[in-house]
Amino acid sequence: MSVFTPVTPEQLSAWLKNYSLGALLDMQGIAAGIENTNYFVTTTAGRYVLTLFEKLTPAELPFYLGLMAHLAQHGVPSPAPAPDLKGGLFSELNGKPAALVSRLQGEAVAAPAPAHCAEVGSTLADIHLAGRSYAVRLDNPRGPRWWREAAAAVSPFLDADRAALLRAELEFQALHRCDELPRGPVHADLFRDNVLFDGRRIGGVIDFYFAGVDCLLFDVAVTLNDWCVHPGGEIDPVRAHALLAAYHARRPFTQTERDDWPVLLRSAALRFWLSRLYDFYLPRPGELVHAHDPEHFRRILKLRIEQGTEAPWI
């Protein structure tokens, strides 16, 4: 279980007195996730997810929690933060800022079909469209500046070939700023485990805590690199077509986005190769932390470099 800050039922019951959510009935640690401490919480008023933020600061949290509330109000199946008795969306629990959000229906899909990918593409476009009216701004915290910082931290652990690949890709990305692409709030981590399907429909999009303002196309590339790939990292054209066509039907891609698509596929792969390298070589203490294999996204990055990956299906 990825728990960095343990919480007892007694501690949580005392904290819940700041809310109008009834009495605690049950709490269970959530194994998924490597950034925050998460629990499923059931009270006499309903089912929630408790998150204790291990890295995000009180100054940053209003962007994330406000975005989730904004999206939920605009019909996106996003968790809705529960306000406390004073109207705040988070408060301190065991020395960490903590928040309760609604627990949504559905389950993650491990082996998505084209129909799943189409639903994801459509919902991602809805997130981007709703985000246009969200006034709070926060640059993507895992953007190019973080790439450089993370690369410096993990490079000593890499062999010569991997270190050379990392240096070359950082140099390539520095030459392609993509400043003319449409921008706005992005989820930035819309992997299979962050989408809950309730039957054939999406019941919830969760874990917005890597969100930020970035190129909308970057979000599409991050999503496609997980939902529409074979185990070896190759893009499945049928699933890719389903996702991109459904997205395009909601928010048409611009010509500049079409031109820059191969660059964004590479940047999306680089971002997750770096984060997995960082979590693998520089883990934080916790009861048990699940770190993903960095090699998966190294392979994806190499494939995107070698193949170029035009997008004739949009």
Q: Alpha-carbon torsion 99, 100, 101, 107, what sign? A: positive
Would you say residue 2 lies in a domain?
no
pLDDT at residue 169 in the model? 98
CATH of the domain at 64: 3.30.200.20
Would you say residue 205 lies in a domain?
yes
CB 1 within 8 A of CB 288: yes
pLDDT tens per residue, range 31-65: 776 689 999 999 999 999 999 999 999 999 999 99
**Same domain? 272 vs 170:** yes
pLDDT at residue 290 in the model? 62
Would you say residue 1 lies in a domain?
no
Would you say residue 75 lies in a domain?
yes
Rounded to whole angstroms, the Cα distance separating 238 from 24 reads 46
Would you say residue 314 lies in a domain?
no
Would you say residue 124 lies in a domain?
yes
pLDDT at residue 307 in the model? 87
Rounded to whole angstroms, the Cα distance separating 293 from 220 reads 22
Give every CB contact of residue 240 below 8 A, 6+ residues apart in sequence: 117, 224, 228, 311, 313
pLDDT at residue 217 in the model? 98
**Same domain? 84 vs 208:** no
**Same domain? 151 vs 262:** yes
Range of the domain at 15: 9-102
CATH of the domain at 149: 3.90.1200.10
Q: Pick from 102, 131, 159: which residue ends a domain?
A: 102
| Amino acid in the structure at residue 38 | N
**Same domain? 162 vs 274:** yes
**Same domain? 293 vs 161:** yes
**Same domain? 265 vs 210:** yes
**Same domain? 95 vs 134:** no
**Same domain? 98 vs 118:** no
Identify the helix (H) or strand (E) that includes residue 172.
helix 160-174
pLDDT at residue 287 in the model? 44
pLDDT at residue 288 in the model? 44
Rounded to whole angstroms, the Cα distance separating 68 from 14 reads 26
Q: Pick from 67, 102, 137: which residue ends a domain?
A: 102
Q: Pick from 78, 102, 126: which residue ends a domain?
A: 102
- β-strands 24-29, 37-43 pairing: antiparallel
**Same domain? 73 vs 125:** no
CB 118 within 8 A of CB 228: no
Low-confidence ranges of the chain (pLDDT < 50): 1, 287-288
Would you say residue 109 lies in a domain?
no
**Same domain? 175 vs 270:** yes
**Same domain? 161 vs 278:** yes
Would you say residue 107 lies in a domain?
no
Looking at the structure of the chain, the number of domains it has is: 2
**Same domain? 161 vs 294:** yes
